[in-house]
Structure 1
């Protein structure tokens, strides 16, 4: 049965899906750098997405509360940071509304808040990525995967049940830095996330086709040979983990600003394995393939959500579980018949033969 969808609702559906595609595109591209290029068993990827959310909900929001506490006190008669439990349970929405009103009248303040949040999210996640590089140098692949998975769960549990961090189980309402856009805010945020995705794709494409990217592939395929040829494996792994983690932190911050809310309990391991599913379907070692995997995932997810009642009447399965079944089957089929994904890895782009010969003559 074909459902009749209102054109206005269809436009909104497309816009919201495009925003999520851009955010998760950044997330999956960063995973591809670790898995597709370097071959790390990154099973704790959601940890760095959570750190981006933690930065916005637990750090920069508190900075905004401190900056505007006089205005908040004059209107609500409270100091939010003086009694964080009371603030989290009773005054979040009123307080954030006051800050949003300030941002709506001052685009500069809202933009500075957004840039500060993105920068700190990248720094915090990048630092944790460097810290995780230590175990990455000493553990075998299977043990490293287990450690990263456990580390992600540890951070989720600690931040969820520690109210002073990001309001714990209540979740943290965050200010909207683009309140000044008014009714154009949804489309404006789509443009911003698309710009971040484009920048990420350009940077990683240039990185992957550089000598650095070719060295990563060499380490992935033959680590001993790479060592023999003088490649410092430690430095390469540290740089990759720092870069990919920072990008994941940016994606986490963008996701929180999309929802204007963050609950640290939402960052379950499923987020890691959804990213893996997207990457496997699209193709590891190929940035365009990774984005195609994200697009395929969201296309199927939206189709299932639209026709969920029809699906329920036919197969008598909850659409949520049916979605997992479909993607499980898709991954199995890809691994069986096209293990390289829809778009497999391609050789790194190098200079043409004519340019190389010209450079040799100049030398």
Structure 2
């Protein structure tokens, strides 16, 4: 039971890094990014491929974070001049292009067979998972403190203004595209870091681990918790993974339900939770309530 709790906690903390990056992009900048999992995949494969060549894991993880951020800049230059639905479509296409490349470039990524035997963070000792968990806790604290600092900085005030009224920001002589690109890069870097942790925790990665569904899971987490509240990101991520893992035990309650049916029930539960959130608390559990002045 202890091992299961540690595993779930590690999963929550990895998703929390993903959610923190997406919250910065959407909740604080207004960018609709449906391709977040693409940067997650870039980080995972970068760190894994370097580690397989004998590069120290710490350097691999730093490289994964940096490489994911670098990849965001050309995408930002192209896509961030678009708005709303168009940006969402472009970023979704980007993530699928990354996944297809990982499948086709077998000489580098081993294609659909994936990469096994990735060096594990802190080795394979009995306390390795606890060390990974402790490291993720520290990294998340640093990351969320950094995001909070960004939000309160002059840069943070500009991206907040872009989210609320981009036309007004242009009128003040600021270039929104430059600020949005930097915000996209920071969020991508966090996704790349999360991917590196994923690779060195599971020790195996394949393209099928980076499907668009992962992005939408993260979207569910920040919507349920509150898109512009860091506390909401934390609670929303815990709720999401709690729903995903808790629904696995439905088979004990309904023994006649098959695996395929159980998977559908899990999606139904998550969907209903999201619908109820949008109906009764559209700003999220920790979002600001909007009051109407009479």
- Taking structure 1 as the reference length, what is the TM-score of the superposition? 0.76
Q: 1:169 to 1:197 in 2, by over 3 A?
A: same
Distance (Å, rounded) in 1 between the aligned partners of 2:257 and 2:122: 43
Instruction: Quote the offset at 1:316 in angstroms.
Output: 9.8
Long gaps (5+) in structure 2 = 290-294
Q: 2:51 aligns with which of 61, 79, 104?
A: 61
> Counterpart in 2 of 1:270?
213
Long gaps (5+) in structure 1 = 1-8, 65-111, 347-363
Asked if 1:290 is matched to 2:233, the reply is yes
Q: 1:310 to 1:117 in 2, by over 3 A?
A: same
Distance (Å, rounded) in 1 between the aligned partners of 2:159 and 2:153: 10
Instruction: Quote the offset at 1:228 in angstroms.
Output: 1.7
8 A contact 1:311–1:317 mirrored in 2: no
Aligned length: 289
Instruction: Quote the offset at 1:129 in angstroms.
Output: 0.8
> Counterpart in 2 of 1:47?
38
> Which SS does the other structure have where 1:307 is aligned?
helix
- Taking structure 2 as the reference length, what is the TM-score of the superposition? 0.93
> Which SS does the other structure have where 2:53 is aligned?
helix
Greater C-alpha radius of gyration:
1
Q: 1:176 aligns with which of 110, 120, 128?
A: 120
Instruction: Quote the offset at 1:307 in angstroms.
Output: 3.4
Range moving further from structure 2, 240-249 or 306-315:
306-315
What CA RMSD, in Å, does the superposition of the two structures yield over aligned residues? 2.0
8 A contact 2:37–2:211 mirrored in 1: yes
8 A contact 1:312–1:318 mirrored in 2: no
Q: Deviations over 1:293-322 (max 9, x none)?
A: 001111222221133331454899722211
Q: 1:247 to 1:317 in 2, by over 3 A?
A: closer
Asked if 1:21 is matched to 2:12, the reply is yes
Asked if 1:164 is matched to 2:146, the reply is no
